[in-house]
Amino acid sequence: MMKMVDFASLPGMDPILKSADELGFGDAIAHALSGKASIKDVVELYRAPLWLVGAAARAVTDSVSGRRVGFIVNVIFNYTNVCVIGCKFCAFYRKPGSPDSYRIAVRDAVASIKDYWERYGIRQVLFQGGVDPSIPLEYYEEAFKGIKEATRGEVAIHGLSVVEIEWLAKTSGLSIKELVSRLREAGLDSVPGGGAEILSDRVRRLVSPIKSTAGTWLDVMDQVMEMGIPISATMVYGHVETLEERAEHLLKLLDLQRRRGLIMAFTAWNFEPENTELASEVPYPVGGTELLRTVAIARLVFRDELKWIQAGWLTAGTRLGQVSLDYGANDWGGTLYEERVMPAAGVPLPHLAREFIKKTIAGAGYVGYERDNWYRPLEPVN
């Protein structure tokens, strides 16, 4: 049985709590630290001084994982950009038949991932694309089996978002569990949290009206974890959502984790409007302080119940990613070789290698170490 931590009594927390009381945010922070935060409490944390929630979050992370920050060497494999969902916040997708649409053949997909494994020693492939109903289940089974064989089982497959799984189940005439069982047999190791966006049906109707409800996302992930398959969780903020809806999103994820306990990590990204349909309504991305605040609040809400919070540098950049470590993040994420989605939205991404990531983490005052898909260290961690 896991030992319960009294987060309010952590070293250095007493002056933080006193300041919180003086500023009128004491109850919100106390409720979060006790694991009993409400939507009202989380909204209050969003309105609290940034330094206050950041200091409290870092104290919690120090108790969870110390000054250590993990990362993984991985490749993002966007196997197709064809998608019938048409999310307004996405600059990557193309409609079926578009002249610049593509689908990568299984043989080429396996060869590409094998090449990254041989050259860079990748440990994970994030296998994700659009929703193309014309791609059969056998495509994924052949690809996953091929990847496992070509890399001698050393590359974990972190694959397919909820919406891909949901549509593939429908087009295959299978239940969610039947589909996921076949994918697992082919080599699927874990499921990424993409497609969560904001778990509010009001928001989803506005930004992705064809996509399924928040309840469906949660139900699919619940079924995946019931089968013993771990997942990750995400949030895309800074578009049409309210603070209450951000709070609702975080608390729904916490409830899901308390039911199944297999959410490995949480990552928050800000919405990037360039080249998207939503740009006319939300022309500018939110500032970097929103990332820091969201990371800090996520740590306070999740505490040690969801251990790993990623730095979110993908949209915010590596420098702000460094700063996010001071606000409660304790994982850097991956090298993201071949990522195509964010560049489509005008976000240039550096090619990050092991030593560069370690130096970047060290430059922020932390100790970086390489991990695997399941957040287990691959080297001694001091």
305 and 214 in one domain?
Answer: yes
Residue 197 is assigned to a ligand binding site:
yes
Q: Helices (H), strands (E): how many in the chain? A: 16, 10
**Do 351 and 254 share a domain, yes or no?**
yes
Q: How high is the pLDDT of residue 252?
A: 98
Cα 316 to chain centroid, rounded: 14
- The Cα 250–Cα 225 span in angstroms is 18
Q: For residue range 339-349, what is the model confidence (pLDDT) as tens digits?
A: 444 334 333 44
Of 37, 61, 85, the one marking the end of a domain is: 61
pLDDT value of position 97: 65
Query: Looking at the structure, do residues 184 and 223 belong to the same domain, yes or no?
Result: yes
pLDDT of 350 > 90? The answer is: no
Instruction: Find out whether 281 is annotated in a ligand binding site.
Output: no
Q: Is 98 annotated as a binding residue?
A: no
Given 61, 84, 101, which residue is the final one in a domain?
A: 61
Q: Is residue 375 part of a domain?
A: no
Interval 86-109 mean pLDDT? 73
Query: What average pLDDT does range 360-365 have in this prediction?
Result: 95
In a domain, 225, yes or no: yes
For the chain, give the mean pLDDT: 89
Domain match, 245 and 342 both = yes
pLDDT at residue 195, rounded to an integer: 83
Is 112 annotated as belonging to a binding site? no
Span 2-18, pLDDT tens digits: 557 899 999 999 999 99
In a domain, 382, yes or no: no
What pLDDT digit, counting tens, does each position of 17-42 carry? 999 999 999 999 999 999 999 999 99
| pLDDT single digits (tens) 110-156 | 999 999 999 889 999 999 887 888 899 999 999 999 999 999 999 99
Burial label for 9, CB within 10 Å (0-12, 13-18, 19+), is: exposed
Q: What CATH number does residue 261 fall under?
A: 3.20.20.70
- Residue 336, pLDDT score: 62
Same domain, 126 and 33: no
Which pLDDT value is given to residue 64? 97
Distance CA 267, CA 333 (A): 9
Domains of the chain: total = 2
Other beta carbons within 10 angstroms of residue 317's beta carbon come to 17
Whether 20 and 118 share a structural domain: no
Is 376 among the domain residues? no
pLDDT band at 194 (very low <50, low <70, confident <90, very high): confident
Residue 298 contacts by C-beta under 8 Å, 6 or more apart in sequence?
A: 235, 250, 266, 268, 309, 328
Q: 228 in a domain, yes or no?
A: yes
* Whether residues 335 and 220 fall in one domain: yes
* Same domain flag for 228 and 312: yes
Whether 101 is covered by a domain: the verdict is: yes
Q: Mean of the pLDDT values across residues 51-80?
A: 95
Residue 115 covered by a domain: yes
Does residue 138 sit within a domain? yes
Nearest to 78 by CA among 126, 37, 113: 126
The pLDDT value recorded for residue 347 is 37
Contact call for residues 16 and 52 (beta carbons, < 8 A): yes
Q: Is 36 left (phi over 0), alpha (psi -120 to 50) or beta?
A: alpha
| Contact assessment for residue 124 and residue 373, using Cβ atoms and an 8 Å cutoff | yes
Pair 40, 86 in one domain: no
Q: What are phi and psi of 78, to 5 degrees?
A: -90, 95
Same domain, 189 and 104: yes
379 is in an annotated binding site: no
Q: Dig out the tokens for 101 from the structure.
A: 């649409």
85 DSSP assignment: S
Tokens of residue 161, six digits: 């978002």
pLDDT tens-digit profile of 290-310? 999 999 999 999 999 999 999
3-class DSSP string for 217-266:
HHHHHHHHHHCCCCEEEEEEECCCCCHHHHHHHHHHHHHHHHHHCCEEEE
Position 342 scores a pLDDT of 39
274 in a labelled binding site: no
Q: Name the residue range of residue 47's domain.
A: 7-61
Q: pLDDT tens-digit profile of 310-322?
A: 997 777 788 999 9
- At 273 the pLDDT is 63
Are 38 and 173 within one domain?
no
Q: Note whether 159 and 291 are same-domain residues.
A: yes
